[in-house]
Amino acid sequence: MSRYNVRESEAKWQSVWAERNSFAVQADPSKPKTYVLEMFPYPSGRIHMGHVRNYTIGDVIARYKRAKGFNVLHPMGWDAFGLPAENAALERGVHPGKWTYENIATMRGQLQSMGLAIDWSRELATCRPDYYRFEQKMFLDFLKAGLAYRKESWVNWDPVDNTVLANEQVIDGRGWRTGALVEKRKLSQWFLKITHFADELLGALTSLDRWPEKVRIMQENWIGKSQGLRFFFSLSGGHADLEVFTTRPDTLFGASFVAISPNHPLAATLAEGNADLAAFIAECNRSSTSEADIEKAEKKGFATGITAAHPFVPGWDLPVYVANFVLMEYGTGAIFGCPAHDQRDLDFARKYGLPVKPVVVPEGQDPAGFSVGDEAYTGPGLLRNSDFLDGMAVEAAKTAAIARIESLGRGTGTTMFRLRDWGVSRQRYWGCPIPIIHCPACGAVPVPEAQLPVTLPEDVTFDAPGNPLARHPTWKHTTCPHCGGAAVRETDTFDTFIESSWYFLRFADPRNEQVAFDKELVKYWLPVDNYIGGIEHAVLHLLYSRFWTRALSHVGYLDLPEPFGGLFTQGMVTHATFQDADGKWVFPTDVDLQGGKATLKAGGTPVTVGPVIKMSKSKKNVVDPQSIIETYGADAARLFMMSDSPPDRDLEWTEAGIDGAWRYISRLWRLVTEPGFTLPAAGTPAPASFGAEATAIRRAAHKAAAGVGDDIEQYRFNSAVAKLRIFSNALGESLARLAAKAAEGAAPAADDAWAAREALEYLCQTVQPVMPHLAQQMWVELGHSDLLVDRSWPVADSALLVEDTATVAVQVNGKLRATLALPRDAAEDVAKAAALADPAVQKAMDGKPPRKVIVVPNRIVNVVV
């Protein structure tokens, strides 16, 4: 039989699936549904190995669920807006839209070459007006319901790109792309009121039992619910009372200073007459405000000369500082510092020589001897040095301190969230236009629904920094829908997280031109049963999607508590790194690994092999999936992705691994095409009974059908592949025995030949989710003309899943001497006789009679001599 022609086979079956619309689906209430969705890609131009792993995982699930009788929705789209397209326009002189659509076409072809079971009729791109027009309508409905609003806020501003940056995009005070010193600016921005659902978003995490625990914890921490106290300090110098929020009112007697944010209104007032303070604030505003950077940065402050009166102790005045580690976005933008029990406060106090007084002492420790060094004490204990709180545990002291403040009329106990409202304004062109018109007389006016979508102008230029919409000569000029006067459009566009916050809903009804989606179709398809993507999206994308779903429910679009019923976060694809003699990174394809040495293929000079890390273009430790697919085939790449490690862990890509996958494919092909004897025709009725060989063959096949299916259900894909290998090995041995008999002129018995065909068919069916092209081609070789994707998953006979033998260990004086295959639940005398008759056991007994024989059924026989 000829060698398996991978290119021909994969191209052929991909064409057949496409021609027959094999994976197109419609809602069918008579069938159970499954919605499988991988996080959709940004159209960068090329798929990478992370894409191959991500989409293979989803495809295996989709194909298996289809075989199990589910109506499977498995769509694909493109997260197509974003700053990279604008950067490409600047660098290459092309329009962002042209660049994006060309990349989509390229990547679509690459993904289709993987043989994915996707309903391509539902394909969408978020940059298309027929998508974002509904997004604009949603925003206006949120605005009407009070879930969207506009306000001035402090932002990170890149003066070169002329755009707002997220905190994470500010590195050492500079823009991540331009390297320009970032400024703090106060801009009018559009916000979505995610905090309205903070309690709901937090509480519902407990219902997401098919999400990874680590993701739920990350979201819980991000929402950051805390019980605390809002209260007021009286300030010296005639200044208005200062409102402070704290989660540790129990530590008030350990206070040594008060600090306000550089962007606090009081700081701005004081800076008007103090150039040094103004300079300090400017310095703070050039630094990143991400929590990770604040933790690492030196804690700096500026003494204002103002003091704050302690609320419990008359005459105790605390110095007030402007401090670089206090964020205006959290609480009230003002804190009191208790250095002994907060690390930031302690670092600050040590720098400025402020008192450090412990007020919480671990139980059993002498208060007089307890002190704090370089590390704050944040654990449990009893209150000391704290007047009426002395002797209380921390939680009781919090309650008592809040009650005392409330009785004094200086504050109230309250709940705070770390979660801030979502600022969605971005100063760039390639995004969804915000459907607002600014009128000098009427203010911010919504664009009438009949005028949606507000589309982007095509004739924009990128010959100057900043947002082309803001300087477009005609697009932004319009008339007010209310008064008819001259007005201008909002030139900010939406944060691209908005597009990814509802695309999974549009997939339920992607061609609807009247509404974003039909409510009943969403009710049928949603929630997504298997949502698959990287852990890096654990917070923002997933949290925003959960919020958007609630907001849509709030304004009547749907009734869906959670968008994603099941979530799986796959590990990264990694590869060794290589550097040449000059320290320059080298692509793996340029390295020759022979005999434990690494050299350049061109020239033979030595190469240093570095650590195995995530594939990265900058380190050049990348492998082109298209090259792998063209060389080995999509099935080999899919198999390697599923077989090498648990899918939630990182996977190391190796040449040996992909070679091994190809060899296994070739071996399976030979099993089907070269059994060594004639198989009965497809559809031949089963014989009345089966002998030992046939039963063994059937048992292996039926165990594989049950085990592989169960592993796919539980995301244990590497275990599923291992079971396939066990099955194919056992089947290969059985076929070899039958072929040997046939070579001697003894045709296999009818029951053996029938069992062999059944097993080979089961092999095709169980292999199909992982290696669909190979499976279909083998299915044809077995005499079938239908498509495997239309076949049900093979049914395992429960009687064949029960083992009729048990492997029993035999020990002589505590040492293992033999293992026996005995009938399951064999009688004790049968197990004893078999053990004592074994040659290895007899040798170990050295002719001595047994003093005792202990039998543990189905497990062990222990002989004592």
Per-residue pLDDT reduced to its tens digit, 795-822: 999 989 887 778 899 999 999 999 988 8
Longest dimension (CA), the chain: 113
Region 706-730 average pLDDT: 96
Shortest CA distance to 642 belongs to which of 716, 569, 705, 532? 716
Q: Which of 171-185, 432-446, 472-486, 715-729 shows the lowest mean pLDDT across its residues?
A: 171-185
Compute and round to an integer the Cα radius of gyration of the chain: 34
- H-helix or E-strand spanning residue 449: none
Q: Give the pLDDT score at 160.
A: 80
- Using omega within 30 degrees of 0 as the cis cutoff, is the peptide bond preceding 527 cis? yes
Q: Which pLDDT band, with edges at 50, 70 and 90, does 181 fall under?
A: confident
**CA–CA dist 427, 438 (Å, integer):** 16
Cα dihedral value 605, 608, 614, 620, nearest 10: -30
Q: Which pLDDT band, with edges at 50, 70 and 90, does 164 fall under?
A: confident
**CA–CA dist 489, 659 (Å, integer):** 58
Task: Inform me whether the pLDDT recorded for 129 exceeds 70.
Answer: yes
- H-helix or E-strand spanning residue 673: helix 655-673
Residue with tokens 């969230």: 417
Half-sphere exposure of 324 (CA within 13 A, CB side): 28
CA 95-96-101 angle, to 5 degrees, is: 105
Region 268-297 average pLDDT: 83
Shortest CA distance to 702 belongs to which of 818, 769, 795? 795
Here the tokens at position 214 are 């680590």
Here the tokens at position 329 are 């976005």
Task: Inform me whether the pLDDT recorded for 286 exceeds 80.
Answer: no
Q: Which pLDDT band, with edges at 50, 70 and 90, does 156 fall under?
A: confident
CB 818 within 8 A of CB 835: yes
Sheet holding 651-652: strands in order across?
608-614, 573-579, 651-652
Region 431-447 average pLDDT: 97
Shortest CA distance to 533 belongs to which of 154, 780, 212? 212
CA 384-389-395 angle, to 5 degrees, is: 100
Q: Give the pLDDT score at 751.
A: 97
Task: Inform me whether the pLDDT recorded for 408 exceeds 90.
Answer: yes
Task: Inform me whether the pLDDT recorded for 1 exceeds 60.
Answer: no
Per-residue pLDDT reduced to its tens digit, 505-519: 999 999 999 999 999
CA 688-690-692 angle, to 5 degrees, is: 165
Q: Give the pLDDT score at 289.
A: 61
Q: Give the pLDDT score at 180.
A: 85
CB 731 within 8 A of CB 763: yes
Shortest CA distance to 646 belongs to which of 721, 727, 724? 721
Region 349-368 average pLDDT: 95
Q: Give the pLDDT score at 330.
A: 78
**Residue 859 identity (one-letter amino acid):** R
**CA–CA dist 782, 769 (Å, integer):** 18
* Domain-wise residue ranges, the chain: 148-192, 225-417, 435-468+476-492, 573-614, 803-864
Q: Which pLDDT band, with edges at 50, 70 and 90, does 710 fall under?
A: very high
Mean of pLDDT over the chain? 93
Beta strands in 324-379 (DSSP E): 334-337, 360-361
**CA–CA dist 515, 506 (Å, integer):** 10
Task: Inform me whether the pLDDT recorded for 83 exceeds 90.
Answer: no
Per-residue pLDDT reduced to its tens digit, 579-604: 998 899 999 989 988 877 889 998 88
Q: Which residues pair with 181 in a beta bridge?
A: 174
Q: Give the pLDDT score at 865.
A: 92
Q: Give the pLDDT score at 295.
A: 72
Q: At residue 552, what are phi and psi to the nearest 5 degrees?
A: -65, -40
Q: Give the pLDDT score at 36.
A: 98
Residue with tokens 């852990």: 535
Q: Which of 551-560, 598-607, 633-642, 772-781 shows the lowest mean pLDDT across its residues?
A: 598-607
Q: Give the pLDDT score at 168.
A: 53
CB 535 within 8 A of CB 569: yes
CA distances from 251 to 245, 315, 395 (A): 13, 18, 11
**CA–CA dist 413, 227 (Å, integer):** 8
CB 277 within 8 A of CB 304: yes
Q: Which of 139-143, 440-444, 621-625 shows the lowest mean pLDDT across its residues?
A: 621-625
Task: Inform me whether the pLDDT recorded for 442 exceeds 90.
Answer: yes
Half-sphere exposure of 190 (CA within 13 A, CB side): 26
CB 325 within 8 A of CB 344: yes
Task: Inform me whether the pLDDT recorded for 542 exceeds 60.
Answer: yes
**Residue 657 identity (one-letter amino acid):** G
Cα dihedral value 282, 286, 291, 294, nearest 10: -70
Q: 557: which residues sit within 8 A by CB, 6+ positions away?
A: 138, 141, 516, 517, 519
Here the tokens at position 689 are 């009974």
Shortest CA distance to 506 belongs to which of 534, 525, 492? 525
Question: CB neighbours (10 Å) of residue 173?
Answer: 18
Q: 382: which residues sit within 8 A by CB, 6+ positions away?
A: 360, 361, 363, 391, 392, 393
Q: Give the pLDDT score at 296.
A: 75
Q: At residue 257, what are phi and psi to the nearest 5 degrees?
A: -165, 165
Task: Inform me whether the pLDDT recorded for 763 exceeds 60.
Answer: yes
Shortest CA distance to 572 belongs to which of 661, 654, 657, 648? 648
Q: Give the pLDDT score at 459.
A: 93
CB 447 within 8 A of CB 436: yes
Percentage of residues in the chain having pLDDT higher than 90: 78
Q: Give the pLDDT score at 169.
A: 66
Q: Give the pLDDT score at 377.
A: 97
Q: 101: which residues sit within 8 A by CB, 6+ positions away?
A: 125
Q: What does the DSSP 8-state code read for residue 566?
A: B
Cα dihedral value 129, 130, 134, 135, nearest 10: -40
Task: Inform me whether the pLDDT recorded for 182 exceeds 90.
Answer: no
Beta strands in 116-241 (DSSP E): 124-125, 148-158, 163-165, 170-171, 174-175, 183-192, 225-235
Task: Inform me whether the pLDDT recorded for 242 exceeds 90.
Answer: yes
Here the tokens at position 762 are 């089961």
Q: Model-level pTM?
A: 0.86
Domain 803-864 matching CATH 3.10.20.590: the answer reads: yes
DSSP letters along 83-140, please?
A: HHHHHHHHHH---HHHHHHHHHHHHHHHHHTTT----GGG-EETTSHHHHHHHHHHHH
Q: Which pLDDT band, with edges at 50, 70 and 90, does 290 fall under?
A: low
**CA–CA dist 810, 832 (Å, integer):** 10
**CA–CA dist 813, 391 (Å, integer):** 63
Region 613-625 average pLDDT: 87
Q: 276: which residues sit within 8 A by CB, 6+ positions away?
A: 302
Q: Give the pLDDT score at 314.
A: 96
CB 255 within 8 A of CB 231: no
Q: Give the pLDDT score at 166.
A: 66
Task: Please tell me the class of the 225-417 domain.
Answer: alpha beta
Per-residue pLDDT reduced to its tens digit, 318-358: 999 999 999 887 789 999 999 999 999 999 999 999 999 99
Region 750-766 average pLDDT: 98
